[in-house]
Amino acid sequence: MTEPSVVIIVADGLRPDTLDRAIASGLVPELAALRAAGGRHVLTTTFPSVTGVAYVPILTGRHPAAAGVPGLRWYDRARGLPALLGHSRSYVGLQMRRIDHDLDPAVPTAWDLARGSALGSMAMVTRGLPVRGRVEHGWRFATRALGAHLAGSVERWSALESELAGRFVDRVRRERPRFAFATLTTGDKAAHAEGAGSAAVLASLQRVDQIARQVRTDAEHDGRWASMHLYVISDHGHAPVQRHFDLADALREAGVRVRSHPWTVPDRSEAAVMVSGNSMAHVYLGLEGRARLPWPSMRSSWGPRIDDILAHPAIGLVATSLSSSEVAVGDGNARAVIRFGEHGYSYRTERGNPLAIEPFEDQCPQAVHERTMESPYPDSIEQLASLTPAPRSGDVIVSAAPGWDLRQRYEPIAHVSSHGALHAAHMLVPFLANRPLAVSPRRTADLFGLVREVLDAPKGRP
């Protein structure tokens, strides 16, 4: 018996219903076989539901904000990030690799657990993965990837990804890593450009199917399949966007001096708007303060300046941190408070019911997941409790309403579909495994536990 191993393939931005349709129409026979072998599960991802950030739970088991990465873009009140960049971070483009630097050094990654026997393709979170284990390593690839990104070309990206997929499969066969993780993002790019159920998305899913098939046939051929755990998962959903509301510009029109990407040069900004994915935003207020203040102490100075903007139809939910153990959440009409601590989570409504769930007291993380799973905001309680009070999060956290996103200018590709928000179409992701699981995972963060179990297993046990 060979050593147990895990291979995770991330189909970026794949919705559960798109996978179901592809299986039903016979387009992805290998994924159909996985569903027959291990079942088809629907998990919740993380809020903000966006690429890269959403890999953090899979690779560390933590909520990204709790691990130091609150979103795709964020502002650093502590000013540890360079002044030249306006103390602002964006993982889109040149700073992509900095996610490793931002991740809390005390948080172990799946790469650490694999102790060098690892292979990653476009993993974005690579701390603990040796350079030789990075399939996309090298300046030639970096140049082509940047070119494809700037050109906004799904075709060029797809060609690049096809090459990487070939290298990944070859190296899994030759090197037999204990942990391998590959992301395929063409499907996400195609969904942005043409919609989540478009032919281009289905074509990219067929590539995922081919990789899964090749990994299986290679492993069967040399006796690794019985001890290999093959998982296919998505990192976030997708949903049509009809209208764009530029939150940064709306604040500027209200007279607030705002810093936002791509122009984050140090200036006299009073506020920073950091959009993730594009249906979520961190809004940082009072940039001169280096420490995060609870919302009630900022409310009197900022409330009157931003209340009207936050009542816009584009804004689905707004969350603010009341203390280290309380978060307020609301929409235009409703308000509730989430409390969390050693007794678990509570949800109390004050006006209306913004999360559309029954109020409750002292519930564990599993119970709050179950209570929210069928609601318009799956896993809302734990996600808001993790994200809102995190030191690097914004003072005001915005989740866009369905049909809307929060950035209009400076987008390289016109997009008809978006993600990032806390609502179900963005939060629910499909998960397939090549064998039945003793306990079905709930959150993508639970995959880390599965990986750890396999990597810690003694030789000879599948």
User: Which residue ranges make up the site for Zn ion (CB under 5 A)?
Assistant: 188
Nearer to Zn ion, 193 or 381 (CB): 193
User: How far apart are CB 407 and Zn ion at their closest, in Å?
Assistant: 12
Helices assigned H by DSSP within 7-138? 16-24, 29-38, 55-60, 99-102, 110-114
Q: How far apart are CA 344 and CA 195, in angstroms?
A: 39
User: How far apart are CB 100 and Zn ion at their closest, in Å?
Assistant: 20
User: How far apart are CB 458 and Zn ion at their closest, in Å?
Assistant: 40
Burial (Cβ within 10 Å: 0-12, 13-18, ≥19) of residue 351 = exposed
Strands 271-276, 258-259: pairing kind: parallel
Nearer to Zn ion, 188 or 446 (CB): 188
Q: How far apart are CA 338 and CA 332, in angstroms?
A: 18
Nearer to Zn ion, 251 or 422 (CB): 422
User: How far apart are CB 134 and Zn ion at their closest, in Å?
Assistant: 22
| Residue 34 token pair | 């996985």
Q: Provide φ and ψ at 48, rounded to 5°.
A: -70, 135
Radius of gyration from C-alpha coordinates of the chain: 21
User: How far apart are CB 278 and Zn ion at their closest, in Å?
Assistant: 8
Identify the residue whose tokens are 């799956």: 378
Reduced DSSP (H G I as helix, E B as strand, rest coil) percent helix, strand, coil of the chain, to 5: 35, 25, 40
User: How far apart are CB 126 and Zn ion at their closest, in Å?
Assistant: 20
Nearer to Zn ion, 414 or 439 (CB): 414
Among candidate residues 160, 167, 92, 98, the one with its CA nearest the CA of residue 126: 98
Beta bridge partners, 321, equal 327
Amino acid identity for residue 178 in this structure: R
User: How far apart are CB 428 and Zn ion at their closest, in Å?
Assistant: 15
SS3 98: helix
Nearer to Zn ion, 192 or 224 (CB): 192
Question: Cβ-closest residue to Zn ion?
Answer: 188
User: How far apart are CB 59 and Zn ion at their closest, in Å?
Assistant: 18
3-state SS string for 259-289? EECCECCCCCCCEEEEEECECEEEEEECCCC
Nearer to Zn ion, 156 or 167 (CB): 156
Identify the residue whose tokens are 């799946």: 110
The helix (run of H) or strand (run of E) holding residue 203 is helix 199-221
Nearer to Zn ion, 188 or 395 (CB): 188
430 contacts 233 by C-beta, under 8 angstroms: yes
Nearer to Zn ion, 45 or 320 (CB): 45
Q: How far apart are CA 332 and CA 16, in angstroms?
A: 30
User: How far apart are CB 277 and Zn ion at their closest, in Å?
Assistant: 6
Nearer to Zn ion, 350 or 411 (CB): 411
